[in-house]
Structure 1
Amino acid sequence: MRLFLWLTFSVLLFGCSSDYEKYKETPDYILNATGKNESYYKAYDETLKLWNVDFEELYIPTTNGIAHVIVSGPKNGESLILLHGMNASSTMWYPNIDALTKTHRVFAIDFILEPGKSYLYNDIENVENITAWYNEVLFVLKLDSYHIVGASRGGWLAVHLALKNPKKIKSLVLLSPAQTFTWIKPSTDLLKNIIALFSSKEKQIEQSLETLSSNPTKINDVYLRQYKIATEIDSINKFMASMQPFTTKELKSLQMPVLVLIGDDDMINEKRTVEIANTLPNGKGEVIQNAGHFLTIDQAESVNKKTLDFLKQNQ
């Protein structure tokens, strides 16, 4: 009887290790990849070695394709969804994952319309379909409630999801969210990036990194190689024009706790972003010093601490 009770308690506390077993098989599009795709997947796997935490990779079939999800952290931890920035893939969290998995069960999802290990085989027609795709993935993962951390474009998607699923999302952490609170205003850095479009691909990437990071030398060379290949094989998806700032009414309808962090040298955001964040019902905005748009890398330790403190307050 004691053994039965102990086993029951263990399942409830730690979950069943085979919950996602049927999603662990690596699909053919990765096993038999060629050319740039093969190089990209190899670079992706090399970056994953920077995580320094145990993880499992899931390949979840959905209506529109295969969703690649990296799962890590204690099975009894609160669920935390990570939505990466543009062309960054889930590996971008390498400076943050060790801290986040100390207390949370983390699910990092590769966006299906960009380079990563997710795979699109049925066209997604609009932003609403993107939301439906994420909801399909979360349903398969059996997540009834969760926190979301979204970076850049992932921050915009996080707000979009929160507006559609307000009861399921316990809190939002938005890290330099793109076009979420304000439009991207013209600047010298933006002009430099536009001019760089007429240069070589290598020059474009170099210029982009110089304007998005306050210290590009902090970006690990292994991840940088993956990022460069991603920019070579990516094409701008058709939903970029749909990324418009949310209305005041939409933002103020968010009742869950919201933390917004931006860098003091952020090309995508300005102080107005923080001011708006502080007007939300349960919102808080802060500026991270000595950080650009890539604040998860520029000031990883500070971002990790502020994120974890916020999550702890809103368990």
Structure 2
Amino acid sequence: MDGGTRAQVGHFTSEAAEREFRAAYDTAMTLWPPHDTIDVETGFGITRVYRRGPVAGEPIVLLHGHGANASTWYHQVAELGRHRPVYAIDTIDDPGGSVQRRPVTGSGDAAAWLSEVLAGLDLTRAHLVGLSYGGWLVLNQAVHRPERLASVTLLDPGGLEKVPARFLLGLFAAVFAMRAPASWRPPLARLLAVHALVERSEIMDPVLLGAHAFRPHRSPARRFTDDELRRVTVPTQLILAARTTLMRPARALARARRLLPLRHSEIVPGIGHAIPLEAPDLVTDRVLGFADRTADQI
């Protein structure tokens, strides 16, 4: 097992907890505009995918962060879907619509799983976008199985640096802060740079229920080696948050510029780790613009 995986097939601690989660998850997906639901069979289980947009065009594929689900892209999907086919994937071993049957034991398995999903969707050239752990999966794909990728966009991704203790401590602090009176949450969100404290309850309810009742826990995403990052040849866009606690953004950006084929990179001032939720229009603009600039390039 390497970092960024669960040791066993993900599962809820009880049927009651799973029912409560499913109800909350269904409510979260009502924030999406009309869309299609696709279940893709893979060697690791059934992967839930949501689709919106035209038939033609190189698609955009979205991968959410750890413990979340596709609903968290609700800000972006309508506008992205006006221009290109857009697919949002529920990671196979996170609580969501996917049904896992076999563990993902490391980087090779993670890349194999995502390749099977892209093949099952009949996507031969996709613009892959990921936040946090989803960004780790995107970067991992570019390292190990890039053959179906047209470009990658990394939003405050795992893998550029070792996950620091302060990030994990921040998650625990956020859980306690969620119990604070509603009037306290905006200042706490600013202080801790944790947008979850002020995000819509429809989005946060399934995430919190999953954090409480979905096991086993995932190990922190591992740092990719210099040699691995040098293997990436896919056009890459990197967007970091100035107030992220996942890494030291200036140092991570310097490493990425040294090792990755970056076509665009920036550090967004004033925001924390949850870039698509805190700067939704910026993410939509950057994703569409990068897909347009790299479309059909060989």
Return the TM-score normalized by structure 2: 0.82
Hey, what does 2:268 align to over in structure 1?
A: 288
**2:255 is aligned with what amino acid?**
I
Is the partner of 1:285 in helix, strand or coil? strand
Contact persistence 2:107–2:140 (CA under 8 A): no
Hey, what does 2:256 align to over in structure 1?
A: 277
Indicate yes or no: 2:237 matched with 1:259: yes
Is the partner of 2:138 in helix, strand or coil? helix
State percent identity of aligned pairs: 25
Distance 1:237 1:131 in 2: 20
Following superposition, the deviation at residue 215 of structure 1 comes to 7.5
Indicate yes or no: 2:125 matched with 1:145: yes
Hey, what does 2:226 align to over in structure 1?
A: 248
Distance 1:45 1:131 in 2: 28
Distance 2:140 2:44 in 1: 19
Is the partner of 1:39 in helix, strand or coil? helix
- Alignment CA distance shift 1:80-1:285 (3 Å): same
Higher Rg:
1
5+ unaligned residues in a row in structure 2: which ranges?
Answer: 1-13
**2:70 is aligned with what amino acid?**
S
Is the partner of 1:278 in helix, strand or coil? helix
Indicate yes or no: 2:272 matched with 1:301: no
Contact persistence 1:275–1:285 (CA under 8 A): no
**1:291 is aligned with what amino acid?**
I
Q: How does 1:1-315 map to 2 (within 5 A)?
A: 34-52=15-33, 54-178=34-158, 180-187=159-166, 190-191=168-169, 193=171, 210=189, 211=192, 213-214=194-195, 216-217=197-198, 219-237=199-217, 240-241=219-220, 243-269=221-247, 270-279=249-258, 280-315=260-295
**2:231 is aligned with what amino acid?**
S
Distance 2:211 2:57 in 1: 34
Contact persistence 1:115–1:233 (CA under 8 A): no
Is the partner of 2:22 in helix, strand or coil? helix
Distance 2:196 2:44 in 1: 38
**2:110 is aligned with what amino acid?**
I
Contact persistence 1:290–1:299 (CA under 8 A): no
Contact persistence 2:163–2:222 (CA under 8 A): no
**1:302 is aligned with what amino acid?**
L
5+ unaligned residues in a row in structure 1: which ranges?
Answer: 1-32
With CA pairs under 8 Å and 6+ residues apart, which has the higher RCO, 1 or 2?
2
Following superposition, the deviation at residue 34 of structure 1 comes to 4.7
Contact persistence 1:83–1:110 (CA under 8 A): yes
Contact persistence 1:65–1:118 (CA under 8 A): yes
Distance 1:65 1:93 in 2: 23
Contact persistence 1:277–1:284 (CA under 8 A): no
1:38-67 CA-to-partner distances (Å, cap 9, x unmatched) read: 221221121111122x21111222222111
